Amino acid sequence: MKRVFPTLIQHFPGSRSEMKEAVSEALRIGYRHFDCAFVYKNEAEVGEALKEAMESGQVLREDLFITTKLPPHYNDPALVREALDSSLKWLKLDYVDLYLIHVPFSIDREYLKAIGEEKMYQKPEEPDKFYTSMDHSKIWQVSPSVRTVTDELIEAFFLLYHFQGMEKLVDEGLVRSIGLSNFNQQQIQHVIDNCSIKPANLQVECHAYLPERELLNFCNQHKIVLTAFAPLGSPAFAKATCAGEPVLLEDPVVKKVGDKHKKSPAQVLLRWLIQRNICVLPKSVNKVRLKENFDVLDFALDEADVEEMNTLGTKNLRYFLYEPSEDSPDYPFPRSKAA
Ligand code: A2P
């Protein structure tokens, strides 16, 4: 089985050249799994670094695992293909290994265009116009089991106009597998109940303060690989936006376990997730920390360490709440009282 190493590269506030250099450095260290997204606006730089590495013979395409994501203003079967085509063009690839629906909430593309794309992350003034309520199984594909002659005719009409859901991308070899991100259990179940190709992967925030045990069990039952974003608890984001909340990388339990193994807190946090068979996406643009996050395969947490780490899960602390999106009918988390 091909081994997929710890991953990096998501949204980060660095310059474009810093981004490309981080990918090149990661490739030199041995990273082979890169996580991108249409909305991160990083695909061109990732693509340039990958292209250089492949052209110089440093890596082969088949050794890479590239993920990217469908943005919320393309959550529509009519727009899926267009979004993927853009990502492939920026990445300079003819296929991606994994394509995820980035978030369950869907934004009206024309309305967003009219008010300005920079407003995508702000609380909308007119939520009814901003959000559409798109059935996720339609973005995926209509299940053959529920097809009638009418459905077949509708589908033929859709295909004529290049309306293609996620499953069609697999059929055409443009993506190797498809999955979901930031979906809750009920939303995933709805896709499973109405699909031909099951989601292969679920990417969610997951770390020692948010262990997502129930969701992991659910994924295991359905043979869905769980991938953790923010595995280190995104320290800079946590400090900037979650004032008063504990910072996971500074937790004394994590430090104590690390001291025992002569490993850093970040390495302990990654190792704890890997031992739960969770794929990890630590982000870094720093050469030393890139290497540090990669060196997590030469030690193991024992039962006592795991037990101690598990106590942190009682905090159940989610740093990424996507609060401006609480007005969407598809908001995946319990809403705050203010909404
Ligand atoms: P930097 O890019 O300067 O290394 P997460 O992956 O949980 O979202 O966390 C990403 C953040 O954690 C980035 O701000 C990154 O900063 C920092 N970071 C990444 N690796 C480490 C590490 N090994 N030790 C401390 N901070 C780290």
pLDDT digits (tens, 9 = 90+) for 291-333: 999 999 999 999 999 999 999 999 999 999 998 899 999 999 9
What pLDDT does 148 receive? 66
Lowest mean pLDDT among 17-21, 153-157, 252-256, 279-283: 153-157
What pLDDT does 6 receive? 41
Cα atoms in the Cβ-side hemisphere of radius 13 Å centred on 180: 25
Which ligand 1 atom is at minimum distance from the Cα of 207? 7
- Residue 136 annotated as lining a ligand binding site: no
Report how far residue 9's alpha carbon sits from residue 1's, in angstroms, rounded to the nearest whole number: 24
Higher pLDDT, residue 216 or 133: 216
Residue 145 has pLDDT above 50, yes or no: no
Report how far residue 311's alpha carbon sits from residue 47's, in angstroms, rounded to the nearest whole number: 40
The mean of the pLDDT values for the chain is 90
Ligand 1: residue of 245, 269, 289 to mutate (most ligand atoms within 8 A of CB) is 289
Which ligand 1 atom is at minimum distance from the Cα of 14? 2
Question: Cβ < 6 Å from ligand 1: which residues?
Answer: 230-236, 249, 264, 266, 282-286, 289, 292-293
Task: Write the CA distances from 179 to 79, 85, 159, 223, 267, integer angstroms.
Answer: 17, 17, 22, 12, 27
Helix (H, G, I), strand (E, B) or coil at 321: coil
Domains observed in the chain: 9-325 (3.20.20.100)
CB count in 10 Å sphere of residue 99: 28
Report how far residue 54's alpha carbon sits from residue 308's, in angstroms, rounded to the nearest whole number: 43
For 199, left (φ over 0), alpha (ψ -120 to 50), or beta? beta
Instruction: Report how far ligand 1's centroid is from the alpha carbon of 286 (Å).
Output: 8
Contact 23, 50 (CB under 8 A): yes
Report how far residue 306's alpha carbon sits from residue 154's, in angstroms, rounded to the nearest whole number: 52
322 is catalytic: no
Instruction: Report how far ligand 1's centroid is from the alpha carbon of 249 (Å).
Output: 9
**Angle at Cα 57 formed by Cα 55 and Cα 59, nearest 5°?**
100
- Mean pLDDT for the stretch of residues 232-237: 94
Instruction: Report how far ligand 1's centroid is from the alpha carbon of 273 (Å).
Output: 16
Instruction: Report how far ligand 1's centroid is from the alpha carbon of 317 (Å).
Output: 18
Which ligand 1 atom is at minimum distance from the Cα of 249? 25
Which ligand 1 atom is at minimum distance from the Cα of 248? 7
Going by alpha carbons, the residue nearest to atom 2 of ligand 1 is 284
Q: Where in the chain does DSSP place strands (E)? A: 33-35, 65-70, 96-101, 106-107, 131-132, 175-181, 201-205, 225-229, 279-281
Residue 267 CA to its chain's centroid (Å): 21
Going by alpha carbons, the residue nearest to atom 9 of ligand 1 is 234
Cα atoms in the Cβ-side hemisphere of radius 13 Å centred on 116: 6
H/E element, 46: helix 43-55
pLDDT in tens, 36-55: 999 998 899 999 999 999 99
Residue 219 has pLDDT above 90, yes or no: yes
Going by alpha carbons, the residue nearest to atom 1 of ligand 1 is 284
Instruction: Give the N- to C-terminal CA distance of the chain in Å, as an integer.
Output: 46
Contact 186, 136 (CB under 8 A): no
Instruction: Report how far ligand 1's centroid is from the alpha carbon of 19 (Å).
Output: 14
Q: Give percent above pLDDT 90 in the chain.
A: 75
Contact 254, 309 (CB under 8 A): yes
Confidence of residue 337 (pLDDT cuts 50, 70, 90): low
pLDDT in tens, 72-130: 999 998 899 999 999 999 999 999 999 999 999 999 999 999 999 989 988 999 999 99
